[in-house]
Structure 1
Amino acid sequence: MNQDITSALRPAIVMTILFAILLGLVYPLAMTGIGQAIFPAQANGSLVRDASGRVIGSTVVGQAFASERYFQTRPSAAGKGYDGLASSGSNLGPTARALIDRVKADVAKRRAEGVTGPLPADLVTASGSGLDPDLSPEAALAQAPRIARVRGLPVATVRGLVTRATEDSVFGDPHVNVLALNRALDAAARR
């Protein structure tokens, strides 16, 4: 009887160890190596650096822009706002009082910033991850008058920056990367 158990356990233990090595070490190391070889920028976080080489953000992770001189991203439900360690949606349903109050506060904030007309939904609702780096072109264009006023630029210039920063998507709607747009805005203001 003991020999039957031993002969039955041996293959199970060997297979467990084999798959732990293959799937826990070999596969992740192979994928990391392939990612580093073929897509090194993306594999390292799609980091954006300033002229001195200092990391200022990522093209794939949203960040808050506190100054009204910049385009604002959509609200974040991740921790205390754009906290990568707390990435998630709010899990609040459409009738949740906390969600309704937060959206009302965001609508009031956008109105105070001077956004008129219908508000694009992504200016007052958080994304599923809470770390979305993109806005719809409509949400960026709604902020153009404020940016133009604060920076002393013509509205047409700011709208042109939004148009040039708009990227088409194969599987979704056009979008604007807020970090890239704000960098283009800084570059235009230096001219």
Structure 2
Amino acid sequence: MSKLMIVVASVREGRIGLPIAEWVRNEVEKHGGFEIDWADLKEIALPLMTEPNHPKLHRYTQASTIAWSERVDAADAFVFVQPEYNFSYSPALKNALDHLHQEWWRKPLGTVSYGGISGGTRGTTALRVPEMALGLVPTTTNVELAWAVKQVEDGEFTPRDSQRALLQAMLTELLELDRALAPLRAARRH
């Protein structure tokens, strides 16, 4: 079974990303195609990247980087649950990406973004450049939640049917991409 890492990319107090990510996790469980690794960047608390060696070299010195490397390397696919900050993505997500390099290579990525009127679209678009540099392969289907704060009540996100359908389509695409990309990852390791 493919391992899907759900990355909660906001670390702010009172974040709505957590209930949105919990909805994503429930939908992944319903989908049934993945083993889940829950990666809340607030809990993981990676320090700012201070490794002495470039991540491409894979010569990590800090325990936090080594542990993060092992988790990301073990994942087959990712869903980033990400806010939009100033037309971009969160600094915690940027830091998590920049800590590593080859661990991301040729793994599929879906995004569930949220924000104001754009639903996080600009943050997802800004993420494309580092995705490309790291070799991540984005899905064509993404979930963009405009004014998501209006769908969170008492700490629970209530999705619309259309949002649920988009997420399920994205999960199916992630599984298809994982199957297609797995041989490329295997060839690179040998």
TM-score by length of 1: 0.25
Would you tell me which structure has more helix in proportion to its own residues? 1
The higher-RCO structure (CA 8 Å, 6+ apart) is 2
TM-score by length of 2: 0.25
